[in-house]
């Protein structure tokens, strides 16, 4: 059983980088762990149908439970922004507008980053071979639409060095993800290569 990643030693900040395989794009994320919250600040550049930059900040509590997303997409035509948040009672808001369709969602999934796979992995305890069905607030980039999506995560295996394999399923899509000892995606077959930290034994410690 993987009980929790939170008991492991962790640094205050961790840098992560991924290069997309299926479209031209790269992402740089800085994860910061504080006494009251965890934040992830990302910069992405995408060249998929249009050239755009994407900046987002995710805020979680210290148990990796999602609290807020602020995201900006910029291209030659201008920029668009969106904020999404959930309160302690599980009520979701996009800016000041209530989002009743997202009631029951706990985590978010942003479709152009592997970072958000970390949130449910770090938040929950896992038993090998036991799937968990999770309701996600799914954020599409670059149009910034949001909808509820049911996803399934299953811990397939763990290793003595802390790495683990998780099966991720959403609709007809399935991928077996290798995560490092800190719960960050180290290999996402077909979609992302991690370029920082690059080595198999260089897992971040946030």
Is residue 204 predicted with pLDDT exceeding 50? no
Distance, CA of 151 to CA of 139 (rounded, Å): 14
Give the per-residue pLDDT at 202.
Answer: 47
Structure confidence by residue, pLDDT tens digits, 118-157: 999 999 999 999 999 999 999 999 999 999 999 999 999 9
Structure confidence by residue, pLDDT tens digits, 27-66: 999 999 999 999 999 999 999 989 999 999 999 999 999 9
Terminal-to-terminal C-alpha distance of the chain: 20
Provide the sign of the torsion angle of the four alpha carbons 196, 198, 200, 202, taken in this order: negative
Indicate the pTM of the whole model.
0.90
Distance, CA of 81 to CA of 160 (rounded, Å): 42
Distance, CA of 131 to CA of 153 (rounded, Å): 6
Query: In terms of residues, how long is the chain?
Result: 206
């Amino acid at each position: 059983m993987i009980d929790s990643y939170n008991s492991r030693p962790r640094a205050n900040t961790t840098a992560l980088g991924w290069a997309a395989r299926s479209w031209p794009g790269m992402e740089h994320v800085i994860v910061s762990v504080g006494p009251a919250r965890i934040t992830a600040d990302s910069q992405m550049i995408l060249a998929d149908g249009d050239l755009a930059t994407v900046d987002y900040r995710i805020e979680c509590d210290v148990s990796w439970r999602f609290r807020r997303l602020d995201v900006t997409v910029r291209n030659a035509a201008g920029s668009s922004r969106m904020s999404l948040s959930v309160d302690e009672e599980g009520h979701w808001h996009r800016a000041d507008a209530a989002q009743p369709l997202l009631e029951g969602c706990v985590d978010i999934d942003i479709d152009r980053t592997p970072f958000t796979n970390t949130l449910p992995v770090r938040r929950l305890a896992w038993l090998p071979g036991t799937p968990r069905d999770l309701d996600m607030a799914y954020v599409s980039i670059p149009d910034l639409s949001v909808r509820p999506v049911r996803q399934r995560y299953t811990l397939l295996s763990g290793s003595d060095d802390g790495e683990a394999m998780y099966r991720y399923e959403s609709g007809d899509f399935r991928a077996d993800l290798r995560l490092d000892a800190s719960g960050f995606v180290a290999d996402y077959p077909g979609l992302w290569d991690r370029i920082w930290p690059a080595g198999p034994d260089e897992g971040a410690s946030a």
